[in-house]
Amino acid sequence: MSEATGTVPAARGPRRGEQLEVEIESLAFGGRGLARADGFVVFVSGALPGDRVLVEITKGKKRFAEARTLELLEAAADRLPDRCVHGGEPCPGAPWQGLPYESQLRHKQDQVGEALRRIGALEGFELEEIVPAVEQWRYRNKLEYSFGENDGEVALGFHARGRWDLIVDVEDCRLATEAGNAARNAVRDWARLDAISVYDSRAKEGILRNLVVREGRRTGQIQTRLVTSASRLPRPPVDLHTAIEGDSGNTEGPTGVLGEELLREELSGLKLAMSHGAFFQTNTEMAERLYAVAAEFAGLSGNERVFDLYCGIGTIGLTMAAQAGEVWGLEIVPEAITDAERNAKHNGIENVQFVAANARTGTRDLVEKAGKPDVVVIDPPRAGLSQKIVRRVLECEAKKIVYVSCNPTTLAPNAAQLVEAGYTLKKVKPVDMFPQTPHIECVALFEKSGPGSS
């Protein structure tokens, strides 16, 4: 749903701080509920279609307002009870947990089609059925927690809704595995036992800031990364792999590494290792399925030259290498490229090469070095491709472009640009990587139209 809904707004929309009772009609892009107050559109966080809620307006704009839920007055008929709750509040990582899973899938499927049609003005493509998640809970291989203090005791969990200064302690987050939860709780218990202070950003005092827990789902490895304002700490529990960083978490790098630095994971038959600064999909099982869809769309015969732009630690290119002639990966984070090269070597894959570069400036150089590709795979961050990068991709003149997107609202304008330049959007397939959340992943296939195209 776009924010410009075509509805004639009331003379004056609701103002910041006003409280209203509204009924949620549908879900907007990004996952908030959409309601109307006297014809005026209100985007409501913390509510689902069919809910009647008391809301407080947080922003009043000319054409719409934003609000947060204060009280659920009447739940939608199909609303499920929240299963992941911390300190009486629904888990911030699972804002759609009240929606039956079938409805989550339907909304995601519809939103991909709607983004391409309404934002991209595209028609005639095949929207394939969404791939449901293998696990609806306990699927995340990475979670980040913040330290806080509740009644003088160390808390380790998530920010309370709308509060930057209050941390709700987490005992069992149902997005993490039991092992991941146990690791977080062990760090919290250690902090309590050794009376280690929590960092207070106003007073600029204290030590503990954040904790990242990552898991190799297939290897069973747990890696914890503790971000602190100082490196002198009592030794953490020995069975945890812990790296301690300096104040801002990115300036000094690890000052004390007590565990393994690389996280090991297995995916599509590959043995992978990754450093903490490298991107890796947070749902291992579904990443495997996502890459299988990308490979199916690429339709390789064994001879093609494939570019894997935004390649991270090389996952997509490495999983396609056996069906390709040669693969070239390009990625901006040098640490990730080191991981990608190590992963290729470790798995005995010889027809891949990786380049550390910005896609904006590095794609032309890559064409010069490797020659024009037959297939370009693109997997950019949420913001999608800038106009300039779209032009660089077009210069590759690939027969096929496989676009892996984590945001249909940025895929849509990029898709329109590719179509405008002579590609045809053949098909799109959503893949549910993030159950209980509004996040949508999908793969789109573009083929070059015109003379010479098949």
Ligand X SMILES: C[S@@+](CC[C@H](N)C(=O)[O-])C[C@H]1O[C@@H](n2cnc3c(N)ncnc32)[C@H](O)[C@@H]1O
Q: Which is nearer to ligand X, 160 or 377 (CB)?
A: 377
Residue of 223, 281, 283, 284 that binds ligand X (CB under 6 A): 281
Note whether 292 binds ligand X by CB under 6 A.
no
Note whether 354 binds ligand X by CB under 6 A.
no
Closest by Cα among 84, 214, 242, 45 to 145: 214
Q: 430 - beta bridge partners?
A: 442
Q: Which is nearer to ligand X, 223 or 315 (CB)?
A: 315
Local structure of residue 276 (DSSP, 8 states): T
Note whether 334 binds ligand X by CB under 6 A.
no
Output phi, psi for 87, to 5 deg: 55, 35
Neighbours of 19 (CB within 10 A): 12
Note whether 384 binds ligand X by CB under 6 A.
no
Note whether 379 binds ligand X by CB under 6 A.
yes
Q: Please, what is the minimum distance in Å from the beta carbon of residue 407 to ligand X?
A: 10
The number of residues that bind ligand X (CB under 6 A) is 19
Q: Which is nearer to ligand X, 95 or 380 (CB)?
A: 380
Note whether 333 binds ligand X by CB under 6 A.
yes
Note whether 375 binds ligand X by CB under 6 A.
no
Output phi, psi for 394, to 5 deg: -65, -35
What is the C-alpha to C-alpha distance for residues 89 and 72, in angstroms, rounded to an integer?
12
Residue of 224, 315, 409, 436 that binds ligand X (CB under 6 A): 315
Q: Which is nearer to ligand X, 180 or 312 (CB)?
A: 312
How many residues would you count in the chain? 454
Note whether 196 binds ligand X by CB under 6 A.
no
Site string for ligand X, 260-279 (x = CB under 6 A): -------------------x
- Distance set, CA 131 to CA 104, 291, 303, 427, 435 (Å): 12, 12, 29, 14, 11
Note whether 331 binds ligand X by CB under 6 A.
yes
Neighbours of 41 (CB within 10 A): 24
406 is catalytic: yes
Note whether 421 binds ligand X by CB under 6 A.
no
Note whether 360 binds ligand X by CB under 6 A.
yes
Note whether 356 binds ligand X by CB under 6 A.
no
Q: Please, what is the minimum distance in Å from the beta carbon of residue 268 to ligand X?
A: 11
Local structure of residue 131 (DSSP, 8 states): B
Q: Which residue is nearest to ligand X (CB)?
A: 312
| Beta carbons of 118 and 414 less than 8 angstroms apart | no
Q: Which is nearer to ligand X, 331 or 432 (CB)?
A: 331
Which residues, other chains included, contact 82 with Cβ-Cβ below 8 Å and sequence gap of 6+? 90, 91, 94, 97, 98
Both structure tokens of 170:
């987490």
Which residue stretch of 53-61, 191-199, 373-381, 421-429 sits at the interface with ligand X (rule: CB under 6 A)? 373-381
User: What does 169-238 look like in DSSP terms, one character per residue?
Assistant: E-S--TTS-HHHHHHHHHHHHHHHHTTPPBPBTTTTB-SEEEEEEEE-TTT--EEEEEEES-S--PPPPT
Q: Which is nearer to ligand X, 359 or 415 (CB)?
A: 359
Q: Please, what is the minimum distance in Å from the beta carbon of residue 212 to ligand X?
A: 17
Q: Which is nearer to ligand X, 97 or 437 (CB)?
A: 437
Which residues, other chains included, contact 154 with Cβ-Cβ below 8 Å and sequence gap of 6+? 147, 148, 188, 191, 192, 196, 198, 208
* Active-site residue list: 406
Query: Binding residues for ligand X, per CB under 6 A?
Result: 279-281, 310-312, 315-316, 331-333, 336, 358-360, 379-381, 406
